[in-house]
Structure 1
């Protein structure tokens, strides 16, 4: 049965995009014996910015390619605006994509690169000119339309690629690690610009990255992927403060891993009792504690430790200490509190819930 693709936005008038719901249900994908996706389900709300976060090989890019139509799925359904597009070809899904590699045509100017999709849709020349200029203005390159790719910086080339993806007014924008080839300052600036444009347009966006800081900084929700499944999806705050598994606790943010003994909803670690996230457990466990939940104290009841090293990080400092059993613990604290190697210190643990893993 031929299923019509979602209706594309008209290519006339001011650039506005209506947020579109995206739903992936039970997506399976294998490459020979390798299973890349294991029944993944994900619902993206209209106008939402969702980041797919995880290590290399976790399946995040495969999921994005499945959504775009570049990879055909083995099982499951993909819906855009309530229409099943699982078997609709990539050029009929009304999706804009920006890749890690800029993929600009070197023989075309920035404006001609942006114009390309409109030409393929047979938009008349006058409208193309207006739409291209509007798209270039939107990404801050309104005066660079006549330049070729080699005359633009990496950040500018990626902004041209973004303008090219948006000029056709897609219902959904897909970003596949678009910032990883850029230097740190340009990366931060461009991610903020992408987020601003996404909010202004209200376009539903799915963003793939392995950079946790990037994902937490720009996304409404983050889906943490591991071994072909989504381990947890939630707001950046939910993922950081209430991870549902040791993998999420370890991958999102920095965690100290300590030995402890669990007794139901509580755990004893370094002589201190802390509450446990998740269901009650019993026995020997590994405990995940955030560096900012450990502090220096003068209290005689603190845990004795010795400073190993301290790193100045601008507004804060991170100091590594060694406990009596040799365990290294990171403490995040005020930058003005400088600690020297071999200095004897005492630690206290904040009473925040922690994630545990049986040993």
Structure 2
């Protein structure tokens, strides 16, 4: 037995180098295969988009309540103290954004920059630049900034030729909670959970309509960052989350690229979005009670209950008691839907409307005018 063991050991030592070479060859092959398998469409998209994602720091002066007055907020006390219960305070905030042109145009959310006095853009390579406000649109919560680089910057473009697919992989970029200044952006991966989401809560004049819903983690500080598909194309701007804790629970919402691209282009060209549209219509949502009064089969849509003579509505041939049910193929269920849809168009645009008149469907074309 002892001899046999020695022979075995000896034999192993003799054939060892060849065996090691073969084993190393297999190991190297496996390593290359694993390395290649790690590089997926997601990692390639992250590598391509990351250099164009930035952090945005802002400072603004806000009028805040002095906490000393909380205990004795009394008019006589304020009179004798000759002091206001409010004071001005410098407030700092942070958000995300992304570069959309080599000469330094940056897209973010309107609520990120707010009424900021100072805006600073931090780049993944550690550089920082002051930024100026080109313009913003409160309704869609989008804003455009401008920095002045000495050389061309890496940038991304909006995907306006395709629509998000429910269930496809998406990547959310940004700087959650402003934790990582001047560093590579954080990424989170999820899917498109739904499209065409309307957030019913309207605040500060914003209309969050037709949003992309995703379960990719979007937290405070991610606002203004891009939502990207597996091809590395920007399909939306991360804008809002639903959360009771302030952190991500898998309900994030992004402004779709087609809408964002148009708003951004208009802001770059004019510095603002033209909201001077005029139709001359006065409308109200068709409730079940109104539907019964009009002998309609169902509620939904908006009822024309008045219009200005000589207005675009009159020129289009709309009549009182017409019910608008579609605009450009989009169903209209409430007056809020109607307003949100009109917001997408500008003076001079012609809308295709589907209306019910005496219960019969009709096609109406209305050319939007300009409010003086």
Q: Report the TM-score, using the length of structure 1 for normalisation.
A: 0.23
Highest RCO, 1 vs 2 (Cα 8 Å, sep ≥ 6): 1
Q: Report the TM-score, using the length of structure 2 for normalisation.
A: 0.22
